[in-house]
Structure 1
Amino acid sequence: MNWRWSRALAGNSGGVSEAVVVLGYRNPQATANLINRWRVRVGLRSIAADHKRDTRVIFSGGATSTGAAEAQLMADYAKSVLEFDGTVFLEDQSRTTWENVTNVIPLLEDVDRIKIASQPAHALKARAYLRRQRPDLADRLVRADDYRPGEWLIVKPLLALYGLWTLRGLENDERKISL
């Protein structure tokens, strides 16, 4: 299921410029939590080698408690720990996946390719939301490097069950693999 979700609603858009949107996850502590660190790594490994200079990474997520915004924590992790020195944008107001998508749209309008980095089910949900909110941008969606065989092997069945629950609101045509 994770393999299928990773490929659903993602095409083969061409072009030079791309945006990688990294979606945050509840983060009440002062540093990026395990899930957010993994999502940052997914986002950074999703940058096409031949498009590195033309890629912007957008970290999206607001504060879930009195602490810093998820977007800031993820950006800090990318820069200080992973030594990422590319172009970074922060969207630090959203509290839901729908808001993540809504709030990053202005940062996506001028790019040729859009990748959404998260767990495969969550990324599919965000791609479906982008398709609903801005169908004109949906044809720019391409697959992020969010599925790798053997990664998160022990928890993958649990992630799949959780994914089934979170994707229950999607239409059947939003679950199909795009070729």
Structure 2
Amino acid sequence: MRRRTGVALAAAAALAWGEWLNWRWSRTLVGDSGGAAEAVVVLGYRNPQATANLINRWRVRAGIRSIAADSTQAARVIFSGGATGSGAAEARLMADYARSVLAFDGTVLLEDRSGTTWENITNVIPLLEDIDRIKIASQPAHALKARAYLRRQRPDLAERLVRADDYRPGEWMIVKPLLALYGLWTLRGLRTDERKISL
């Protein structure tokens, strides 16, 4: 009985830790920039098949729900990601999913040349020059990495970063401890000033 209780407490602690880290990452390197023109950058994930995979489908949903209710007319969604192998670009697959399955009819732009997160940011910068509010949608650790890269490449645009709706309590809860472990590994190159939470 005591062993079962210990296992249950350890599992609960792991879930709480994963939840907390993902919450924290979703609020790091963001501000409260105002303005009407809004862009949501949705980052792609390895997608060798002919349709959007599970992770890309979730990222598309998170990106679309990130559009502020009062800025739908002035908002654009930028899908970013190149082709994996000889298939279609991740950006195209995500846009197709948004249009055909989610019936999204807003403004969509494609950036279909990137193979890394650094390239995602480099290649979307020209699409963000006239934007007041920039949101980056992905899993929280990946989105934070992309925000840090924007800060390194274009600090002036990074001042326009605001929080995307890519963290929700309880969503992906069972795998959040694994996402947190993977996130710690992928974020190991971030500087201390790039880890500062913005509330």
Which TM bucket (shorter chain)? Answer: over 0.9
Q: Does residue 187 of structure 2 align to residue 167 of structure 1? A: yes
Percentage of matched positions with identical amino acids:
85
Aligned to 2:96: 76
Higher helix residue share: 2
List runs of 5+ in structure 2 lacking aligned partners: 1-20
Q: Does residue 33 of structure 2 align to residue 13 of structure 1? A: yes
- Residues in 1 aligned to 2:65 and 2:144: alpha-carbon distance in whole angstroms: 18
Aligned to 2:129: 109
- TM-score of the superposed pair, with normalisation by structure 2: 0.89
Q: Does residue 113 of structure 2 align to residue 100 of structure 1? A: no
Which of 48, 64, 70 matches 2:84? 64
Secondary structure of the equivalent of 2:108?
strand
Which of 4, 18, 29 matches 2:49? 29
List runs of 5+ in structure 1 lacking aligned partners: none
Aligned to 2:142: 122
- Residues in 2 aligned to 1:33 and 1:133: alpha-carbon distance in whole angstroms: 29
Q: CA RMSD in A?
A: 0.4
Secondary structure of the equivalent of 1:53?
coil
Write out the 4+ residue segments of structure 1 that deviate beyond 2 Å after TM superposition: none
- TM-score of the superposed pair, with normalisation by structure 1: 0.99
Secondary structure of the equivalent of 1:2?
helix
Aligned to 1:87: 107
Secondary structure of the equivalent of 1:20?
strand
- Residues in 2 aligned to 1:173 and 1:3: alpha-carbon distance in whole angstroms: 18
Count of residue pairs the alignment pairs up: 179
- Residues in 1 aligned to 2:166 and 2:193: alpha-carbon distance in whole angstroms: 21
Secondary structure of the equivalent of 1:110?
coil
Amino acid at match of 2:139: Q
Superimposed CA distance per residue, residues 85-113 of structure 1 (whole angstroms, 9 cap, x where no aligned partner): 00000000000000000000000010100
- Residues in 2 aligned to 1:25 and 1:134: alpha-carbon distance in whole angstroms: 23
Amino acid at match of 1:134: R
Larger radius of gyration, structure 1 or 2? 2
Q: Does residue 191 of structure 2 align to residue 133 of structure 1? A: no
Secondary structure of the equivalent of 2:73?
helix
- Any residues of structure 2 matched to 1:45-60 within 5 Å, and which? 45-60=65-80
